[in-house]
Amino acid sequence: MSSRRLLSGADRNRGRPSAASSSRAHREQIAELPAYEPPSFPLDTKARKALAELSTNRDTEKYAEHIEKSLRLLSDSVRDINDRYTERKNYIKGRQQKRGEGTQKTDRDRAEEKAALALKEEVPQLTEECESAVRRVIDLQVELEDGKNALRETIHRAESEDAHATPRRGAQNDYEDDEMADGSQPQVTGAWRTLQEAKKKMADDYAAKTMYERYALNNDYIGFKRLAHDAIYGTDGKPLPDPSRWFTQNGGHADEDDDEDLVIAEESVSINCPLSMRVMEDPYTCNKCKHTFDKASLHSFFGGRRVIKNCPQTGCRVEGLTLDDFSPDPIMLRKIKRAQADQVKADVDDEDEEDDGEGDTSIGVTQETDLKSERGRNRGRQLLEAIEDD
């Protein structure tokens, strides 16, 4: 057998410079770039077009999509964790009522109560972290939009400079005849400097805004607050405070419990569509007057997307509405499903009371009663699961 052996990769490469070390050496050898110098001539049409494409290319669009998805996932997360906590609390409460006083807790009861206590500590903290993350994502969203606006300003400035430096026809070189009588060139700011100045101004203007101006007027943040509040307090009927009370004067997050005396009592909400008088399956709320209707009824009422009509709610004076003025209302949908679940539970309780009052102790009647109650409970559980899924 030959005494030669296969060399491992480490043996073969021993003594050779690694890719990382070569890269470091290459970077160290690169000379520093000279200081930036503005261009002597404005951007031409081709260069301005290339600059405009930066705000509409695939990478920019994909980044905007990721921002929108992040906002949606954060809202879904805060909804789900609070729904789970509420479900757990209600389950334990039901177990306690069913167990009655004086009955010893089982190991399962103690384990579930311990888990609920852990959620009591974790869920508010996670909710606050989600809300803070939403504000950070909104900041990124504003930064992206400001960047696009800064690009548009830069292009507009370049067009203006180009218009003032239009060469005479027949010149051998572009801008050859733009030189002034004294030999000077027309003043050109330069795209890079114009862009940086525009971005800085927009960033400074945004930083100067209050927390209320940054977030309480932002539709994404408003939607998050509504969904989070409904998940936390929906079953208690506590209304969401006015946006002006969401932040303290020093920019901190206001505690809702401190503003209870400033909250206007929430009016009772009807789950029936004012047009069809039926329970709404897909509620849509007007962005201008806040009245809610079922989607199918709205389409039937307007008859077309471009049709202009007044709000169909009796007594509402809002005029000039189209279908585009209505948006899906997930909060109302949650309220409708909660109301349906409560009604099913009430019907089940009534059935149980009626069955208990008959006094029939026969096996057949008892089995029928248990079967009816179980069916009602299953309907209630299905509706509650639907609430959590939404």
209-255 per-position pLDDT tens digit: 999 999 999 999 999 999 999 999 887 778 889 999 999 866 666 66
Q: What CATH number should be reported for the domain holding residue 299?
A: 3.30.40.10
pLDDT at 184: 55
State the pairing for strand pair 326-328/283-286.
Answer: antiparallel
* Domain extent at residue 385: 334-390
pLDDT at 36: 77
Residue 295 near residue 303 (C-beta atoms within 8 A)? no
Q: What is the CA radius of gyration of the chain?
A: 33
Q: Is residue 194 part of a domain?
A: yes
- Whether residue 378 sits in one domain with residue 251: no
Among residues 32, 34, 40, which one has the least CA distance to residue 191? 40
Q: Is residue 227 part of a domain?
A: yes
Q: Is residue 30 part of a domain?
A: no
Number of domains in the chain: 3
Give SS3 for 95: helix
Q: Is residue 28 part of a domain?
A: no
Residue 172 near residue 216 (C-beta atoms within 8 A)? no
- Return the H-helix or E-strand segment holding 328: strand 326-328
pTM for this predicted structure: 0.67
- Whether residue 114 sits in one domain with residue 134: yes
pLDDT at 170: 43
Exposed e or buried b per residue across 40-78, where buried means at least 16 C-beta atoms within 10 angstroms of its C-beta: ebbbeeeebeebeeebeeeebeeeeeebeebbeebbebb
- Whether residue 352 sits in one domain with residue 235: no
In angstroms, rounded to a whole number, what is the distance separating the alpha carbons of residues 132 and 138? 10
pLDDT at 295: 95
Q: Is residue 8 part of a domain?
A: no
Q: 81: alpha, beta or left, given left = phi > 0 and alpha = psi -120 to 50?
A: alpha
Residue 305 near residue 312 (C-beta atoms within 8 A)? no
Q: DSSP for 270-313?
A: P-B-TTT-SB-SSEEEETTT--EEEHHHHHHHH-STT--B---S
Between the CA of residue 224 and those of 16, 54, 148, 207, 258, what are the distances in Å? 56, 31, 25, 22, 21
pLDDT at 346: 80
In angstroms, rounded to a whole number, what is the distance separating the alpha carbons of residues 33 and 278? 71
* Bridge partners for 284 per DSSP: 293, 328
Q: Is residue 380 part of a domain?
A: yes
Q: Is residue 148 part of a domain?
A: yes
- Whether residue 372 sits in one domain with residue 291: no
Q: Which residue among 240, 262, 284 closes a domain?
A: 262
- Whether residue 240 sits in one domain with residue 214: yes
Among residues 329, 312, 134, 282, which one has the least CA distance to residue 214? 134
- Whether residue 238 sits in one domain with residue 150: yes
pLDDT at 15: 52
pLDDT at 363: 40
Helix 219-233 / helix 330-358 crossing angle, nearest 10 deg = 10
- Whether residue 350 sits in one domain with residue 221: no
- Whether residue 130 sits in one domain with residue 196: yes
- Whether residue 210 sits in one domain with residue 240: yes
pLDDT at 253: 66
Q: Is residue 26 part of a domain?
A: no
> H helices of the chain, where?
9-13, 19-29, 45-53, 58-99, 107-164, 191-207, 211, 219-233, 295-302, 330-358, 363-389
pLDDT at 55: 83
pLDDT tens, the chain, 390 aa long: 444 444 444 454 555 555 555 566 555 566 788 887 878 888 888 988 998 888 888 999 999 999 999 999 999 999 999 999 998 988 888 888 887 777 788 888 889 889 989 999 999 999 999 999 999 999 999 999 999 999 999 999 888 888 776 654 344 454 444 444 455 556 777 888 899 999 999 999 999 999 999 999 999 999 999 999 999 988 777 888 999 999 986 666 666 654 444 444 444 678 999 999 999 999 999 989 989 999 999 999 999 888 999 999 999 999 999 999 999 999 999 889 988 888 887 877 667 666 655 555 444 444 444 444 455 445 444 544 554 454
- Whether residue 153 sits in one domain with residue 291: no
Angle at 380 between CA 377 and CA 381, to 5 degrees: 85
The residues, ordered by sequence, that sit 6+ positions from 117 with a Cβ below 8 Å of its Cβ are: none
